[in-house]
Amino acid sequence: MKFMKETYIDLDIIGKQKYIKLIKDKFERKLAKQLDLTRVSAPLLVTKESGLQDDLSGVERKVAFDVLKDGKELEIVQSLAKWKRFALDKYGFATHKGLYTDMTAIRRDDKMDETHSIYVDQWDWEKVITRKDRSLDYLKSTVRKIVSAIKDTSELLKTKGFEGVEICEDVYFITSQELLDMYPGTTDKEREYEITKKYKTVFIMQIGGELSDGKPHDTRAPDYDDWSLDGDLLFYHEVLDMALEISSMGIRVDSEALLKQIEKSGHQDRLKLDYHKAILKDELPLSIGGGIGQSRLCMLLLGRAHIGEVQASYWDKDTIEYCKKQKIELL
């Protein structure tokens, strides 16, 4: 990544904190209104056997420990993709209504760089849909509502004295296969960069399944998003001259999609878990949901060069020295 210093706006640390609070408060309210969501509390811990843990790409090590009283093994969540669907049913949300929550997690195997941290903070959201809503058109409509909330938040910053980042509200939609066809012979990240620099706000659809080159655009767990109805929302981030992913989201698997994707991934053992059994029996509502990075959004809207400028996390010695050299102030 290139640090484009000429586009970097100096902000003192107290000023940053005030803007971070403003962004989070404003966006949270706009998101809830756009998608008709109610805020709920969410767990930090899940039991191993519940099946509620998000396995992400399937190779990450969970942070786990046993409880002193009964010896039960607990895991710190990696995301709430599965828990949210259970919560929709438990709380009795009506069709086209849903929930959102502040999710914090520890992903010990995440790399640490300008946009990644082992500490994850995001808005997790989920809403009930109908079978008719299981379509790319419905997915696109939802994406546009999220982008509208981001745009409104950026406009609010201007009224509070921060003039820095323009958000393009016109979303460019493209499937991962179409993107590969457009930029053959490139890596997924190279393709993301080219298309996002060109169109500024991009939603890449259908991530998880194998493409014509024999590889998926990116890895996805087989048991939460339907790989034909999901995607990533990216914005061009000028300060780092890169495509910055703000959200991964999708229409969740039904019983048919779950069986198909579990077979492709070779994880048939998961079908014994409670979460998977409930989907196969149609006991959980059909839903759409995703995660929206809180620190990533603040980083984008404030034009920051490092995610450590907008969240307090652990950083290795090399990162601290690099940021000090570049006069980037970590929280």
Least confident segment among 10-14, 255-259, 278-282, 305-309: 10-14
Q: How confident is the model at residue 66 (pLDDT cuts 50, 70, 90)?
A: confident
- pLDDT, position 224: 87
Neighbour tally for 311: CB within 10 Å: 20
Tell me whether residue 36 is one of the annotated catalytic residues.
no
Strands 172-175 and 201-205: parallel
- Residue tagged active-site, from 28, 232, 238, 309: 232
Let me know if residue 330 belongs to a domain: no
Residue 220 to residues 215, 232, 265: CA-CA distances in angstroms? 12, 11, 10
Tell me whether residue 110 is one of the annotated catalytic residues.
no
Contacts (Cβ under 8 Å, ≥6 apart) of 118: 106, 107, 108, 110, 112, 313, 314
Q: In the block, which residue shows the tokens 């890895």? A: 219
Phi, psi of 109 (to 5 degrees): -95, 0
The DSSP symbol for 93 reads: P
Q: Would the pLDDT of 45 be above 70?
A: yes
Tell me whether residue 54 is one of the annotated catalytic residues.
yes
- Residue tagged active-site, from 245, 294, 295, 311: 245
Distance CA 123, CA 27 (A): 10
More confident residue, 209 or 128: 128
- Residue tagged active-site, from 78, 79, 117, 122: 122
Let me know if residue 183 belongs to a domain: yes
Let me know if residue 77 belongs to a domain: yes
- Residue tagged active-site, from 53, 79, 107, 188: 107
Let me know if residue 163 belongs to a domain: yes
Is residue 53 within 8 A of residue 75, CB to CB? The reply is yes
- pLDDT, position 137: 97
Q: What is the mean pLDDT of residues 174-189?
A: 96
The boundaries of the domain holding residue 53 are 5-325
Transcribe 131-149 into DSSP letters: GGG-SHHHHHHHHHHHHHH
Let me know if residue 331 belongs to a domain: no
Tell me whether residue 107 is one of the annotated catalytic residues.
yes
Q: What is the mean pLDDT of residues 159-176?
A: 90
Provide the number of structural domains found in the chain: 1
Q: How confident is the model at residue 122 (pLDDT cuts 50, 70, 90)?
A: very high
Q: Would the pLDDT of 26 be above 90?
A: yes
Tell me whether residue 154 is one of the annotated catalytic residues.
no
Distance CA 115, CA 307 (A): 5
The DSSP symbol for 167 reads: -
- Residue tagged active-site, from 28, 54, 126, 152: 54
Neighbour tally for 18: CB within 10 Å: 13
Q: Would the pLDDT of 272 be above 90?
A: no
**pTM confidence score:** 0.91
Q: Which two tokens stand for residue 233?
A: 């929302």
pLDDT tens digits, 251-267: 999 999 999 999 988 88
- Residue tagged active-site, from 248, 261, 287, 295: 248
- pLDDT, position 310: 92
Residue 99 sits in a domain whose CATH number is: 3.30.930.10
Q: Would the pLDDT of 107 be above 70?
A: yes
